[in-house]
Amino acid sequence: MNSSVAVKNVSELSSHSVTLIDSVLPPQRLPSTLQLKQQLPLDTALTHQVAAHRQQVRAILNGEDARLLVVVGPCSIHDPRSALEYAERLAALSADVSDELLLVMRAYVEKPRTTVGWKGLAYDPRLDGSDDMAGGLTLSRDLMRELLRLGLPIATEILQPMAAGYFDDLLSWVAIGARTTESQIHREMASGLAMPVGFKNGTDGGVAIATDAMRSAAHAHRHFGIDRHGHPAIIETQGNPDTHMVLRGGHSGPNYGSQSVAKVRATLEKVGVASRIMVDCSHANSGKDPLRQPAVFNDVLEQRLQGDRSLVGMMLESHLFEGCQPLSGTLRYGVSVTDGCLGWDGSEQLLRDAAKRLRLQN
What is the domain-level CATH number for residue 56?
3.20.20.70
Residue 290 has pLDDT above 80, yes or no: yes
Residue 282 has pLDDT above 80, yes or no: yes
Cβ contact 185:206 at 8 Å:
no
Residue 1 belongs to some domain of the structure: no
- The pLDDT value recorded for residue 177 is 97
Task: Give the long-range contacts of residues 9-15, CB within 8 A, separation 24 or more.
Answer: none
The pLDDT tens digits for 48-90 are: 999 999 999 999 999 999 999 999 999 999 999 999 999 999 9
* Number of structural domains the chain divides into: 1
- The pLDDT value recorded for residue 25 is 77
Residue 218 belongs to some domain of the structure: yes
Residue 27 has pLDDT above 80, yes or no: yes
Mean pLDDT of 314-335: 96
- The pLDDT value recorded for residue 361 is 86
pLDDT tier at 362, thresholds 50, 70, 90: confident
**Alpha carbon distance 165, 311 (integer Å):** 30
Mean pLDDT of 329-346: 97
Residue 19 has pLDDT above 90, yes or no: no
Residue 96 belongs to some domain of the structure: yes
Residue 2 belongs to some domain of the structure: no
Structural domain boundaries enclosing 142: 29-361
The pLDDT tens digits for 139-159 are: 999 999 999 999 999 999 999
Residue 255 belongs to some domain of the structure: yes
Residue 311 belongs to some domain of the structure: yes
The pTM is what? 0.93
Cβ contact 39:48 at 8 Å:
no
**Alpha carbon distance 76, 215 (integer Å):** 29
Percentage, residues of the chain above pLDDT 70:
93
| Phi-psi region at 162: left, alpha or beta (left = phi > 0; alpha = psi -120 to 50) | alpha
User: b/e for 209-238, b at 16 or more Cβ within 10 A?
Assistant: bbbbbbebbbeebebebbeeebeeeebebe
The pLDDT tens digits for 152-184 are: 999 999 999 999 999 999 999 999 999 999 999
Q: How many CA atoms lie less than 13 Å away from 328 in the CB half-sphere?
A: 9
Closest CA to 246 of 268, 272, 212, 276: 276
Cβ contact 151:179 at 8 Å:
no
Residue 9 belongs to some domain of the structure: no
Radius of gyration from C-alpha coordinates of the chain: 22
- The pLDDT value recorded for residue 113 is 85
State how far the alpha carbon of 120 is from the alpha carbons of 103, 132, 153, 161, 327, in Å.
23, 11, 20, 15, 12
Residue 295 belongs to some domain of the structure: yes
